[in-house]
């Protein structure tokens, strides 16, 4: 088996794919693509992934990108059982809903705040972007009401995906004290395999954002 993940630790989506792989427990070779050095634009990488983004997975010649698609693929192919990505139609549908929620809502709101600060010279977070993210966190708070994990009683790849997104903005110093279910779940996420590795990348992300923020 030769499984390789092209990865950049500062990237939330990239950490999401790796955190899923760590929970699945599949051995995976990690190759760093330094986005700050524009390594994703190297000819060899564009040949592999014309969309030149991380994470990108290579599995014996099969190439896949999009962090959540990678998590689903790895769970389906390598997980010991179906807990992380249930086969039951309805339970899987809820996991998928949470994954789409992350990809189309939570991650998007976090990116809308951080991208302009990291790359466009913005030094403040606009109030409407703060409100947008807090509204979205309100939905996550509801998903976690009466549930230990975001899609029910057991940990799934929805947790690894959403946690990797959320950990980026937590590292910027986001206040989640109004969301007690999220606070409790964030503490529980410390039990995820690969948690420390994720925290390191999130911390570097948070520092890069905070450096550009007006104090
Ligand atoms: N929706 C994608 C987002 C991937 C993405 O935008 N990756 C960024 C880093 S966060 C990237 O590789 N950017 C470099 C580029 O597009 O050239 C996923 O979840 O994998």
What pLDDT, in 10s, does the model give residues 59-90?
999 999 999 999 999 999 999 999 999 999 99
| pLDDT at residue 1 tops 90 | no
Q: What is the pLDDT of residues 113-135, one digit of tens each?
A: 999 999 999 999 999 999 999 99
Residue 9 carries which DSSP code? T
- Ligand 1 pocket, mutate which of 7, 8, 12, 13 (most atoms under 8 A from CB): 13
HSE of 21, CA atoms in CB hemisphere, 13 A: 25
Give residue 215's pLDDT.
75
Cβ contacts of 117 within 8 Å, gap of 6 or more:
123, 125, 209, 212, 213
Give every strand in the sheet of 29-32, ordered side by side. Answer: 29-32, 3-7, 56-59, 62-65
Distance 130 CA to ligand 1 centre (A): 22
H-assigned helices in the chain: 12-24, 43-48, 67-78, 89-101, 107-119, 127-143, 157-172, 180-188, 195-212
Which residue ranges does the chain devote to CATH 1.20.1050.10? Answer: 89-212
Q: Is 53 in the pocket of ligand 1 (CB under 6 A)?
A: yes
Report the chain's mean pLDDT, rounded to a whole number: 97
Give residue 2's pLDDT.
87
Give residue 17's pLDDT.
98
Which residue ranges does the chain devote to CATH 3.40.30.10? Answer: 3-78
Q: Is 9 in the pocket of ligand 1 (CB under 6 A)?
A: no
Q: Is 67 in the pocket of ligand 1 (CB under 6 A)?
A: yes
Kindly report the CATH number that applies to the domain delimited by 3-78: 3.40.30.10
Closest CA to 164 of 8, 11, 16: 16
Distance 40 CA to ligand 1 centre (A): 10
Three-state SS at 4: strand
For the domain made up of 89-212, the CATH class stated in words is: mainly alpha
Closest CA to 15 of 189, 201, 178: 201
For the CA of 14, the closest atom of ligand 1 is 20
Mean pLDDT, range 137-165, rounded to an integer: 98
How far is residue 20 CA from its own chain's centroid? 9
| pLDDT at residue 57 tops 90 | yes
């Amino acid at each position: 088996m030769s499984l390789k993940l092209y990865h950049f630790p500062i990237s939330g989506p990239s950490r999401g794919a790796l955190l899923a792989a760590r929970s699945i427990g599949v051995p995976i070779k990690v190759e760093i693509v330094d986005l700050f050095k524009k390594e994703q634009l190297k000819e060899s990488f564009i040949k592999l992934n014309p969309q030149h983004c991380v994470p990108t997975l290579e599995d014996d010649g099969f190439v896949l990108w999009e962090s959540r698609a990678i998590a689903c693929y790895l769970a389906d192919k390598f997980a010991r059982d179906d807990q992380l990505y249930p086969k039951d139609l309805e339970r899987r549908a809820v996991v998928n809903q949470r994954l789409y929620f992350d990809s189309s809502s939570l991650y998007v709101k976090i990116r809308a705040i951080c991208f302009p600060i990291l790359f466009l010279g913005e030094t403040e977070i606009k109030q409407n972007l703060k409100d947008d993210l807090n509204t979205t966190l309100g939905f996550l708070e509801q998903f976690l009401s009466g549930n230990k994990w975001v899609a029910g009683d057991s940990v799934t790849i929805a947790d690894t995906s959403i946690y990797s997104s959320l950990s980026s903005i937590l590292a910027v110093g986001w206040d989640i004290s109004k969301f007690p279910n999220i606070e409790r779940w964030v503490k529980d996420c410390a039990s995820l395999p690969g948690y420390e590795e994720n925290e390191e990348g999130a911390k570097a992300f948070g520092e890069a954002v905070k450096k550009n923020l007006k104090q």
